[in-house]
Amino acid sequence: MKLYVITTIAAILFSSCLKQSIPDAMLAAKNSGGQASVTATLSYEVNGNAVNISVNDADNQDRNYYTLGCGKSGNYSLQALSSSGELAFTFYTDSLTTGNYNYTGIYGDSFMLSYNGEDEYVHVASDSMSFNIVSYKAGHISGNFSGRLTPLIVAGNPNNTYGTPGSVLITNGSFQNVPVFY
């Protein structure tokens, strides 16, 4: 019996020397992310002018003020901030899946983009913004997008003044590994 007790104590003692402490294990998991760090990207052209956004370790952005992400609050809203402005697109669904999401001017005016200080809207019936989600896995979406928008010239109450309908073209839009925040 004494031999079993000594063997058990020795096994516990030696095995505990091989393990990390709980704080060390938690730090190692945090530093490795428990998974690989994800870089999210979004790029597009506004009338031929390139906009590129890249966020390293995208999953660890502040969920209230992120540079690139898709948040759920009733609907899903993709937000992207760059030095030239911002892009915003609402997926009118309560259950985001792969597929095409299109917003046209027949639904009413909707802000989509600010580029170099000028706001661009879906305004007339021929305007549209279309996002195609081709992959949604591990909490990240990837796909492509394009659009035809109308510039807002003067914001006014009760009426806004818009520029030439459909004169702002969004082309070559793509996004990869954009985190979806709940």
Tell me the average pLDDT across 92-101. Answer: 96
pLDDT of residue 168: 98
Structural domain including 10 reads: 1-34
Q: Give SS3 for 151.
A: strand
Q: Looking at the structure, do residues 25 and 47 belong to the same domain, yes or no?
A: no
Radius of gyration of the chain (CA): 24
| pTM, two decimal places | 0.79
Q: Looking at the structure, do residues 51 and 135 belong to the same domain, yes or no?
A: yes
Q: When comparing pLDDT for 26 and 166, which is higher?
A: 166
Tell me the average pLDDT across 162-176. Answer: 98
CA distance 61 to 38: 11
How many domains, in total, are found in the chain? 2
pLDDT of residue 9: 59
Q: Looking at the structure, do residues 83 and 167 belong to the same domain, yes or no?
A: yes
Q: Looking at the structure, do residues 155 and 66 belong to the same domain, yes or no?
A: yes
Task: State what percent of residues in the chain have pLDDT above 90.
Answer: 75
Q: Looking at the structure, do residues 12 and 47 belong to the same domain, yes or no?
A: no
Q: Looking at the structure, do residues 4 and 59 belong to the same domain, yes or no?
A: no
Q: Looking at the structure, do residues 64 and 28 belong to the same domain, yes or no?
A: no
Q: Looking at the structure, do residues 98 and 166 belong to the same domain, yes or no?
A: yes
pLDDT of residue 34: 52
**154, 178 in Cβ contact below 8 A?**
no
Q: Looking at the structure, do residues 79 and 162 belong to the same domain, yes or no?
A: yes
Separation in Å, CA 64 to CA 17, 26, 133: 42, 25, 23
Angle CA(89)–CA(91)–CA(95) in degrees, nearest 5?
150
Q: Looking at the structure, do residues 108 and 95 belong to the same domain, yes or no?
A: yes
Closest CA to 113 of 173, 54, 55, 64: 173
Q: Looking at the structure, do residues 120 and 106 belong to the same domain, yes or no?
A: yes
- Asked whether the bond before 179 is cis by omega within 30 degrees of 0, the reply is no
DSSP per residue over 48-85, as a string? Answer: TEEEEEEETTGGGS-TTS-SEEEEEESEEEEEEEETTE
Tell me the average pLDDT across 5-25. Answer: 47
Q: Looking at the structure, do residues 118 and 30 belong to the same domain, yes or no?
A: no
pLDDT tens digit sequence for 102-146 = 999 999 999 999 999 999 999 999 999 999 999 999 999 999 999
Return mean pLDDT, the chain.
87
